[in-house]
Structure 1
Amino acid sequence: MEIITGVERRRRWRDEDKLRVLAEVEQPGARTSEVARRHDISRGLLWYWRRQLRQGRLAVPSAPGPVFLPVQVSDPVPSGPAAPAATGADPRIEIVLPDGTCVRVGAEVDTAALRRVLTALRR
C-alpha cells in the first residue's frame, strides 16, 4: 500500500523519453505491462503514446546533422596516350547506397535537387 501525504504532481515526459519507452515496448518479447511497471506509468499511457505516434502528434526527432560516410574515389578514365583529354569533361559524382541503388550526378545539378532525391531514396 502506498500512502501519499503531499500534493502529487504530474510528470512531464519529453518526446524523446516517450519514444525511448515506446521503443522498449516494440522489442521482441517485451510485455507492455512490464515496461509500464519499470517506468512507473500506466499501460493506458503507453497505448495513448502509441496512438499519438501513429497520428503524427508525437514528434519523431529529425535525423541528426550531417554524418560522415565511407567514400571510395576511383579514376575510371584510363591514363596513357589513348586516354581522352580531361579538359571539357563533365565532372560527375556517383553515389552508391548500401542497398545497391546508384545515383550519378553531373555538375549542373544543384544541391537542393540532390538533397530531395537522396531524401526520397532513404524512405
Structure 2
Amino acid sequence: MSCAKVVSQFEVFAAGELGHRRTWSDAEKIRIVEESYRGHRQGSVVARRHGISRALLPQWRRAYDLGQLDGAPTAFAALEIAPDPMPLPQGAPRGADTDARVEITLANGRRLTVRVDIEASALTRLVQILERA
C-alpha cells in the first residue's frame, strides 16, 4: 500500500472581500516597491506577500522610477534664461563652445550643472536619482 499525500494551497476570502478592489496609498506603494528593490528578492515573492498581482508591481516600479508616486501633482519649475557670460568672438561658429554648460534647479532645491551635449537618457537618470535622494 502506498502512502499518498495530497497537499493543495488555497486561500479563503471572507464573503465581504469578494468583488472589492483594494486601494493603496502612494506611501504603501512606495514601501512595497522599495522592499522589492532590497536585496535579492524577487518581485513575485514581494507581490505574493502583500497580496497584489505580479503584473501590478512592475507598474508601481515604473511609476516609482518616474517619480510619480510621491502623491503630489507634477509641478512646473521656474526657468531663467541669462545672457551669455562671454560673447562669442566675431566669425566663430555658434556650436564651437563644446564646454558649454547648463544649470538645472530641481523641485527639491538641488542644482545640477551639466554639459549641453549630455545624452537625454543620462540626464533623465541623474534627475531621477537626485529627486529621490
TM-score by length of 1: 0.45
Q: Which has the higher contact order (CA 8 A, sep 6+)?
A: 2
